[in-house]
Every structure is written in structure tokens, then in C-alpha cells.
A = this chain, B = another copy of it.
Amino acid sequence: MTEVSFLRTLAERLPDIGDDCAVVEIGATQVLLKVDMLIEDVHFRPGERTAADVGYRALARPLSDIAAMGGRPQFALVSLAVAPWTTEAWLTGFYDGLLALASRHNIRVVGGDLSHTSKLIADVFLVGQATRPLRRSTAQPGDLLYVTGPLGKQKWRFSPRLALGQRLARDPQVTACMDLSDGLALDLHRLAFASSLEARLTHVPVQKGAHLARALHYGEDYELLIARTGPWPNPPQGVIPIGRLVKGKQPGRVLLTGTRVPPVGYDHLKQT
């Protein structure tokens, strides 16, 4: 069983799943819902990260999805299953890291669950609001593609692009957006596929010290991938054009200066 095949099966039963966050209406408000797990020995090794680093990242990752939808995060719930090695000092450090980031973005941590298991798992649930949620499926033929920074050099304590995402949501020419968590190759494939388009990359900005394969396939960049219609005379600082979307016979196909880029991402090197 591959994750992709199972997610396809699941998607048929749960038609709402597809964007970086779920979008639901509560009263007259468009509400974003997101959940994301951070797991020992999958996403981090305790000996290599401080407790505060783990807490920071457990919140930063789903925050990046709220950012990609142009949302404003409001509430968080934290489920934590601790491991036999977990001490009270570690837990305190974990919440230090998490609550510092929450405070920076005015997020209230309003609940959670605490239990124990063999490998530590932190599962963070976020509730946000969006005036115009930015989706993956709404890009148009001819839209230009952008990323919000160079790719390929993963930073553990990255800054979720919340202010930038909210600015993009106010720009009616921005047609689609998502965050780059699994690598440009796979994530651009997903955006193009969701919009029934092909992508033509002309430039992949590579972070100093990284290389092209890393920028395309390694993931965990947590920059935003943007599709936007028409010229953009004054893009926000850091935004870099990388190509365009076109009609084509193979929705989801990505070409880099004529060569096909396979939709292969981080931790999924076996299949598409």
C-alpha cells in the first residue's frame, strides 16, 4: 500500500479533501481547518532537536497551510502522545517553543489531549478564517507561476508566510496558491493537475549551498507556490517568477525548459 494510492481511495469517499486546508462555512464566516502530525523518527529524532524546536515546528507546519490559503489563524488544539523517554522538562520546552510561535501570530491554544505511546506524536489542529481562500484548482491557462523564496535549503525553524499569504488573498489576480512541503516537482504537479493544466518551468531558484535536485524534490521548503494572471509590476519582496501554466494534453505534467520533471517528492521516491 502506498500513501498515494490510499489517499486516492480515501478522496473518493471524502470529496471535500484536496486543498492545503479544509474550508467550511460557520455562520457567514469562511473557516479554515487544518491538522498536522509531527512524529518521532519520521519527522524528527529527539537527540537531534531541542524540545522547543519540536514544539515550534509542530505548529509551524500547519500554519504554513493556513498561510497558503491566505488565512488568518485563530485557535489551536494540541494532541500530544508522549514517549517513555519524555520528561516534564521536555514537555515544558515543547510548549515553550509552540506557545512562542502561537503568541507571535495571536493564536490562542484552547485545548488538546495528552496521552502516551512508544514514539512521541504531536498533532496540531488549527482553526483560521479566510476572506478569500486561495485554492489549488482555480489557476487559469496563461497564469504566471511564482515562489516566495529560493528552494532546497530546508530550515527547521522556518517562518510561515502568513502576512504574505493574506496579501495574496487580497490581490484578485492571484488565482491559486499552495505551500511547498513535498518539493516543487510534486507540489506544482498537484496544483497543475487540480487546475487541469500543464506547467512550464523556466527557472528554479536554488538556495545558496543547495542544488537543483534538492530544490525540486526534497520538500520542506515551506515557501508558497503562486499562480497569478497578468503582469505583476510590484510583487512582494522575495517573490520569484518560475514559469507559467498552459493548456495541455496531460494535466499535471511539469516541464523544465523542455524536459519532463517527474512528480516525485520527499519520502516518496518510489512512485508518483
Q: Which A residues have a C-beta under 8 Å from some C-beta of B? A: 1, 3, 5-7, 9-10, 13-14, 16-17, 21-22, 24, 26-29, 31, 33-37, 39-42, 74-75, 77, 79, 81, 87-88, 91-92, 95, 99, 108-119, 121, 123, 125, 127, 129
Contacts and interface: CB of A to CB of B under 8 A. Distances in A.
Nearest to A29: B27
B6 A114 contact: yes
Contacts of A28: 27
Given A26-B129, A108-B24, A119-B118, A6 B113 contact: no
Q: Is the interface of A mostly helix, strand, loop or mixed?
A: strand
29 contacts: A1-B91, A3-B114, A5-B88, A6-B114, A10-B114, A13-B95, A14-B109, A16-B109, A16-B110, A17-B110, A24-B110, A24-B127, A26-B26, A26-B129, A27-B28, A33-B110, A35-B77, A35-B112, A36-B79, A36-B113, A37-B79, A39-B115, A39-B117, A40-B117, A41-B117, A117-B121, A118-B119, A119-B119, A123-B123
A111 B5 CA distance: 17
Contacts of A21: 111
Contacts of A41: 117
A33 B127 contact: yes
B37 A115 contact: yes
B7 A114 contact: yes
A37 to B, nearest CB: 5
A39 B1 contact: no
Contact of A17 (B6, B7, B112): B112
Contacts of A16: 108-111
Given A7-B114, A34-B77, 18 more contacts: A1-B87, A1-B88, A6-B91, A6-B114, A22-B77, A24-B74, A24-B110, A27-B28, A27-B29, A33-B75, A36-B79, A37-B79, A37-B113, A39-B115, A41-B117, A42-B115, A42-B117, A77-B125
A178 to B, nearest CB: 14
Contacts of A31: 26, 127
Q: Which 6 A-B pairs have the closest CB atoms?
A: A22-B110, A22-B111, A27-B27, A27-B29, A1-B88, A16-B110
B26 A81 contact: no
